[in-house]
Structure 1
Amino acid sequence: MVKDLTDATFEQETATGVTFTDFWATWCGPCRMQSPVVEQLAEEMGDKVNFNKVDVDQNQETAAKFGIMSIPTMLIKKDGQVVESIVGYHSKEQLEAKLAPYI
């Protein structure tokens, strides 16, 4: 399951363990392509990684804090620290390879 996060919940929800957050917007074509890939990863890896998404139009504070200029941007955090920033559409295999070192 992919959890919707807000400016108010982001820090708490991504403070521990391995988290994967997809920063997106409803009007973004590549974001709509990325979303089913993230959903599939969440189904397969949800026991090891917490999957989240943040709508940048609704949660501009969090997007600004992490310097999100292009979407989709995905952040991988381990124990609250950003360890990977991935910009643009990526395949399931590419994202699995990015997550592998942290799980």
Structure 2
Amino acid sequence: MRSSNVNKYRDILEKKKEEILASAPARTPAAEPGSKSGDWIDQSSQENDLHVRLALKQTDSKLLKAIEQAIYRIDQGTYGICMECETKIAPARLEAVPWTRVCIECKAKQQG
């Protein structure tokens, strides 16, 4: 892969990483689990909000890890190569999911 393309993907990955890290403080739970305030409807709503925030935090954590791994592959010179079949990942796939580890064919096999 040409260095100009690699630099483009690195920039995309770094920006996405910054977005995730910048949004992290806004997603910290407002109430501690098990804290009791308001009526049962308020408590239920607070618990639901907490579960949603935790799910988002887990998703962000997984995405952040995938982004960091992609940046590592750039540094190692293996970015854009499928980790399953070792063929080049199509540029369209890298544009859509720059942190991907596998080509579209291997992803389809993984999903069933």
TM-score by length of 2: 0.27
More helix by share: 2
Q: Comparing both chains, which one has the higher relative contact order based on Cα–Cα distances under 8 Å and sequence gaps of 6 or more?
A: 1
Q: Pick the structure with more strand per residue.
A: 1
Look at both structures and tell me which one has the larger radius of gyration over its CA atoms: 2
